[in-house]
């Protein structure tokens, strides 16, 4: 089950890295890369090649995180009792990791409405999971 939760985590990391790929040149990841690569102070002006290196780095991180996501998910599916169980856990964990990382890195607000929506999604996935187990039991009998 831990592998499926990790799959949700890696999916969230991939999405966060994708935000950095398309971020403006004055975004912190690109300014930091400019400072590391050129030695100039963190400012709004950055050399074009340093910005390109930064964007390519984050693109590589998107691909790497997606690869890790699929490896974790496929290994997790083999260890779970059903595919639907793996999908439910992966979706729930990805949803909550996205909220946590969005709040921590990007300052995205988490309102009461978000909490209510998250609860409805988790309940819906739990119902889906329970109905999947019921269907499997009736097939065996």
Asked if residues 42 and 35 have their Cβ atoms less than 8 Å apart, the reply is: yes
Pick the closest to residue 49 from 25, 85, 28 (CA basis). Answer: 25
Q: List, for residues 105-121, the tens digit of each pLDDT value.
A: 888 888 899 889 888 88
Given a cut of 70, whether residue 42 has pLDDT beyond it is no
Whole-prediction pTM: 0.76
What Cα–Cα distance (Å) separates residue 71 from each residue in 4, 60, 77, 84, 86? 10, 17, 10, 17, 13
**Per-residue pLDDT for 64 more than 90?**
yes
Higher pLDDT, 140 or 63: 63
List the domain range (segments joined by +) for residue 10.
2-140
Name the domain count of the chain.
1
């Amino acid at each position: 089950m831990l592998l499926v939760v990790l799959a949700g985590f890696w999916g969230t990391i991939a999405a966060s890295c994708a935000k950095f790929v398309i971020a403006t040149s004055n975004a912190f990841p690109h300014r930091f890369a400019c400072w590391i690569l050129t030695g100039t102070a963190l400012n709004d002006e950055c050399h074009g090649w340093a910005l390109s290196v930064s964007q390519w780095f984050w693109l590589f991180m998107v691909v790497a995180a997606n690869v890790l996501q699929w490896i974790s998910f496929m290994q997790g599916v083999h260890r779970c009792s059903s595919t639907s169980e793996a999908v439910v856990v992966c979706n729930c964990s990805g949803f909550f990791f996205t909220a946590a990382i969005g709040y921590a890195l990007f300052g995205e607000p988490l309102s009461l409405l978000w909490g209510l929506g998250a609860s409805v999604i988790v309940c819906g996935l739990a119902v889906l999971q329970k109905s999947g187990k019921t269907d499997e039991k009736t097939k065996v009998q």
